[in-house]
Amino acid sequence: MSKFTDYQFKPFLREAIARLGFENPTPIQKEMIPLILKGSNAIGQAHTGTGKSHSFLIPILERLDEGKDELQAVITAPTRELASQLYDELNKMIENTTIRSSLLIGGTDKQRSIDKLKSNPHVIVGTPGRIRDLAEEGALAIHTASILVIDEADLAFDMGFIEDIDKFASKMPTDLEMYVFSATIPEKLKPFLAKYMESPVHVQIGNKKPLTEGMKYSLVPVRSMDRKKKLLHVLNAINPYLAIVFTNTKQNADEIADYLAEHGIKAGRIHGDLSPRERTRMMKQIRDLEYQYIVATDLAARGIDIPGVSHVINYELPDDLEFFIHRVGRTARAGLEGIAITMYEPSEDDKIVQIEKMGIPFIHEDVKKGEWIEVKERHARKKRVKETDELDRKAASFVRKPSKVKPGYKKKMAKDIEKFKKRERRLKRRNDK
């Protein structure tokens, strides 16, 4: 199907798709929607921002039977924010219908969640831990749901939630349909998938995330300057709509946010040590545009969708370089432009080379007196040294020590070598033109 209008969806779904402005399915939607409509177990491997949420929401809603007073589909996400975002997208599509849905996430009143379940929702969206708790307590009649979606499965595995999913999935029907969505499929995740999925269809949309149009990747050397001070120079040289500064640890995120505050830059912070209430408040403040800068760990690269990000700054390179792609994917979304700035030191050159192999076209820049300037590539000096070494070797083979030496022969040899090298450089310049 090349257009959404080609599908014979229920009227409410056609209206919702038109209302949301969707015209043509994305590659992951084109592959996954027919599979889920048919009930074929499938793994959808695609990066964030490829439209994978609607690749399962649309066909699940098409298949729900509003006349049945029972739970039919369970959708899990590894973080509260991701679950809330999925739930919001789901509710946009079921306006003016009798489809019942519930959001089940940690950090909220458990009794209230139990009360909501008395009306038997048709579909639930939630975090694995809360779903497991409610299923084990008997408050959630999970045994009637024949569809299970695991979104961001690799992140769920990293965060230790696969065991929770296993516990409640084992209470679901034996003919359970499972749909797994993930940017990567780690080896350690495969035994779990094999337990519940027999010969699933594996849809893989691109090994690498395609480069986003309108995206600029700037590489900034830290050199001998203090890294925090360099960050301050970078932030003072940009005027972002919203910038995320990525660090590798929660401690660094707090240190950077405090440092920026000391220098007059108010920055929000997002990391795993914030309580549910603090994270909810922080996300509201960010959406209300109270912050122009956010300091975050990789939780914000995968676990939270932050709209309107114009700049991403890698204060330090991620330990897992796959997260570089997730980080820079926070900007240049929905057709907007974006800038990703990466700070690096010479000792990190191997990591930069690996990122370049992922298809990232870095531009070498620096900040001088508040202005952006282009600088020579980090390998330029090495290239010069290599060329000089090669020229010296070549000259030495042409200008040999005379068999009978006379006084001053060394000076004459040095002159001849220099003359030879000048001639070679001239020839090279002429050939390069």
User: What is the per-residue pLDDT across 26-80, written as a single tens digit (0 to 9) for each?
Assistant: 999 999 999 999 999 999 998 766 788 999 999 999 999 999 999 999 999 998 8
pLDDT higher than threshold 50 for residue 385: no
Q: Which two tokens stand for residue 414?
A: 């040095």
Q: What is the pLDDT of residues 163-202, one digit of tens each?
A: 999 999 999 999 999 999 988 888 888 899 999 998 899 9
- Which residues sit opposite 82 in a β-bridge? none
Nearest-CA neighbor of 79 among 257, 242, 280?
280
Alpha carbons 359 and 361: distance in angstroms, whole number:
6
> Could you give the CA distance from residue 44 to residue 179 in angstroms, rounded to a whole number?
7
Distance between CA atoms of residues 269 and 297, nearest Å = 9
pLDDT the model gives residue 122: 97
Q: Which residues contact 56 (CB under 8 A, 6 or more apart)?
A: 32, 36, 44, 75, 149, 151, 179, 181
Contact call for residues 342 and 314 (beta carbons, < 8 A): yes
Phi, psi of 110 (to 5 degrees): -65, -40
Kindly list the structural domains of the chain, giving each domain's residue range(s) and its CATH number in brackets, ordered by start: 4-204 (3.40.50.300), 215-374 (3.40.50.300), 380-427 (no CATH)
Q: If pLDDT is split at 50, 70 and 90, which confidence band does 267 have?
A: very high
Question: How many whole angstroms separate alpha carbon 231 and alpha carbon 373?
Answer: 16
* β 243-246/293-296 pair status: parallel
Contact by Cβ (8 Å): 59, 36: yes
CA–CA distances in Å: residue 30 to residues 49, 69, 156: 15, 31, 25
How many alpha carbons lie under 13 Å from residue 60 in its C-beta half-sphere? 30
CB 136 within 8 A of CB 158: no
**In whole angstroms, what is the distance from residue 334 CA to residue 255 CA?**
32
Q: Which residues contact 1 (CB under 8 A, 6 or more apart)?
A: 7, 25, 30, 33, 34
Q: How far apart are CA 236 and CA 161, in angstroms?
A: 40
Across 233-264, b (16+ Cβ under 10 Å) vs e yields ebbebbebebbbbbbbebebbeebbebbeeee
Q: Is 55 exposed, middle or buried (0-12, 13-18, 19+ CB in 10 A)?
A: buried
Rounded Cα–Cα distance for residues 254 and 236 (Å)? 20
Q: Which has the closest alpha carbon to 309: 263, 355, 340?
A: 340
How high is the pLDDT of residue 253? 95
Q: What is the mean pLDDT of the chain?
A: 87
What predicted TM-score, i.e. pTM, was given to this entire model?
0.68
Q: 109: which DSSP letter?
A: -
Asked if residues 161 and 128 have their Cβ atoms less than 8 Å apart, the reply is yes
**pLDDT of 206:** 66
**Are the CB atoms for 273 and 246 separated by under 8 Å?**
no
For residue 143, how many other CB atoms are within 10 A of its CB?
13
Please report the pLDDT score of residue 401 as a whole number.
Answer: 64
Q: Is pLDDT above 50 for 227?
A: yes
